[in-house]
């Protein structure tokens, strides 16, 4: 009990320290706050000023491969501010000139300015790694999202291999423990999501569909845990894109002759309709996975933004930590709404995983469908 109180108290202290920092930095900006939280980052920000540095893996054409921890990177944002302030004092620039100076973001200039303040030619800009000279580079860093990916992967592997072991240990018997928690979900995915679409091919696609479902669901749920900084994994367009690309590949690799015929030369349609239909069908190949990508991304991101906006209300009402009463008033409004939204997001987390997998199964089944009426037509002609 004592320990819990200690943890809670220290959390409150850290939070207030964070908000004080925010107050020092300037007016609270809810937009930046929200967008910063849902964006990827090269550090894992826990609470207040506490953050875990993550490994940065970058490749640059000239400098080659570099691997280091992100806490070695200097903050370019701060450095820039300091320098412009210094420049301001030295040269007595007016406001217009400062703005002009801000606009002068030529790579060469930046490189000249930031050369000493960079680590191996890299700096940190808004928690993301960037080249000090602004040139292009390949960023394979373990970012917050990559770390969450790994966490999700380990969680999935740990849970489902132990469930599989339970099946091996007690063959043919009723499920027990974690096994009985997961079995209805596995059966739900198999019988209600995959089987109605894929029918006889269920066994073939089941491992992929199950992995996809649990991967998305677990990632969605991890994003709802506040103290690990709401990793916005499935609300990241790159992640949803990667998943949709896999479904896209599976769909088209398994496409039958009928499927391609329907797209490239729709049967039983006059020529002028074909001219209109074929481009639409070709676009359709890409629109289907694109819709998958956008749907998951938008739903999860929207949920995060709503929760962050509600939390942001506290800081707006509290005038960024200056007014305790306002902050409490804001909390009074925001906390019930946030709790409600969190429950809603729990539902959305499951629902979106379900929809993504169901549509994946549907798209694959549509591509694998054999159209019987072809043969009938062939007989008639």
Partner 1 sequence: MFILIDALDLVTPDPGLFIWTVFIFLVVFFILWKFAFGPISKALGDREKGIEEALQSAVRAKEEMANMKADNERILNEAREERSKMLREAKEAKEQIIAEAREKANTEYNRIVEEAQQQIDNQRMAALIDIKNQVGNMVLEVSEKVLRRELQDRNAQEAYTRSLVDEIKVN
Min dist. Cβ of residue 58 to partner 1 (A): 9
- Of positions 43, 118, 141, 197, contacts partner 1 by CB under 8 A: 141
CB-nearer residue toward partner 1: 11 or 187: 187
**Interface stretch with partner 1, choices 12-20, 134-142, 325-333, 360-368 (CB under 8 A):** 134-142
- Of positions 190, 195, 274, 374, contacts partner 1 by CB under 8 A: 190
The Cα–Cα gap between 164 and 204 comes to: 18
Cβ contact 261:255 at 8 Å: no
Q: Does position 150 bind partner 1 by CB under 8 A?
A: yes
Long-range contacts of 158-164 (CB under 8 A, 24+ apart): 160/214
Q: Does position 241 bind partner 1 by CB under 8 A?
A: yes
Q: Does position 282 bind partner 1 by CB under 8 A?
A: no
Strands 128-131 and 122-125: antiparallel
- Of positions 11, 31, 340, 373, contacts partner 1 by CB under 8 A: 31
CB-nearer residue toward partner 1: 17 or 186: 186
The Cα–Cα gap between 13 and 264 comes to: 64
Min dist. Cβ of residue 310 to partner 1 (A): 18
Q: Does position 301 bind partner 1 by CB under 8 A?
A: yes
**Interface stretch with partner 1, choices 7-15, 62-70, 203-211, 306-314 (CB under 8 A):** 203-211
CA distances from 375 to 256, 372, 379, 380 (A): 15, 6, 6, 9
Residue 29 structure tokens: 């900006």
Min dist. Cβ of residue 191 to partner 1 (A): 10
Q: Which of residues 220-239 bind partner 1 (CB under 8 A)?
A: 236-239
DSSP state at residue 75 = B
Residue in the structure block whose two tokens are 């739903």: 299
CB-nearer residue toward partner 1: 160 or 337: 160
Cβ contact 60:135 at 8 Å: yes
Residue from 145, 171, 338, 289 nearest 231 by CA: 145
- Of positions 4, 5, 27, 168, contacts partner 1 by CB under 8 A: 168
Residue 33 structure tokens: 């706050």
Residue 64 structure tokens: 């080659």
Kindly report the backbone phi and psi dihedral angles of residue 68, in degrees, each rounded to the nearest multiple of 5, phi listed first: -160, 170
Give me the residues that bind partner 1 (CB under 8 A), please: 31-32, 35, 38-40, 138-143, 145-146, 149-150, 152-153, 156-157, 160-161, 163-164, 167-168, 171-173, 183, 186-187, 190, 203, 206-208, 210-211, 215, 236-239, 241-243, 245-246, 297, 301
């Amino acid at each position: 009990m004592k320990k819990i109180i200690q943890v809670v108290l220290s959390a409150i202290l850290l939070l207030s320290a964070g908000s004080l920092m925010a107050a020092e930095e300037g007016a609270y900006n809810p937009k930046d706050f929200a967008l910063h939280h849902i964006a990827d980052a090269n550090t894992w920000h826990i609470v207040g000023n506490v953050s875990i540095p993550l490994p940065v893996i970058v490749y640059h054409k000239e400098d080659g491969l570099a691997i280091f921890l992100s806490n070695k990177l200097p903050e370019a944002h701060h450095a820039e501010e300091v320098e412009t302030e210094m420049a301001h004092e030295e040269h007595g620039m007016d406001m217009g000139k400062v703005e002009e100076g801000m606009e002068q973001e030529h790579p060469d200039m930046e490189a000249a300015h930031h050369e000493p303040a960079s680590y191996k030619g890299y700096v940190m800009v808004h928690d993301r790694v960037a080249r000090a000279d602004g040139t292009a580079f390949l960023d394979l860093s373990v970012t917050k999202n990559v770390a969450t990916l790994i966490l999700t992967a380990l969680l999935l592997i740990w849970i489902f291999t132990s469930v599989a072991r339970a099946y091996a240990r007690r063959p043919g018997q009723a499920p027990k423990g974690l096994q009985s928690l997961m079995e209805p979900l596995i059966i739900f995915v198999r019988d209600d999501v995959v089987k109605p679409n894929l029918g006889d091919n269920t066994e073939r696609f089941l491992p992929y569909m199950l992995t996809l479902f649990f991967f998305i669901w677990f990632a969605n749920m991890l994003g709802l845990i506040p103290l690990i900084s709401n990793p916005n994994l499935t609300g990241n367009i790159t992640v949803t894109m990667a998943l949709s690309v896999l479904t896209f590949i599976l769909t088209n690799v398994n496409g039958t002759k009928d499927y391609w015929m329907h797209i490239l030369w729709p049967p039983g349609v006059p020529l002028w309709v074909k001219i209109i239909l074929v481009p639409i069908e070709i676009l359709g190949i890409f629109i289907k996975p694109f819709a998958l990508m956008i749907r998951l991304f938008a739903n999860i991101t929207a949920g995060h933004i709503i929760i962050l906006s509600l939390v942001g209300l506290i800081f707006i009402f509290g005038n960024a930590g200056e007014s305790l009463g306002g902050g409490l008033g804001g909390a009074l409004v925001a906390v019930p709404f946030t709790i409600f939204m969190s429950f809603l997001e729990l539902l959305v987390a499951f629902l979106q995983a379900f929809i993504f997998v169901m549509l994946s199964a549907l798209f694959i089944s549509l591509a694998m469908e054999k159209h019987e009426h072809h043969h009938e037509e062939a007989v008639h002609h």
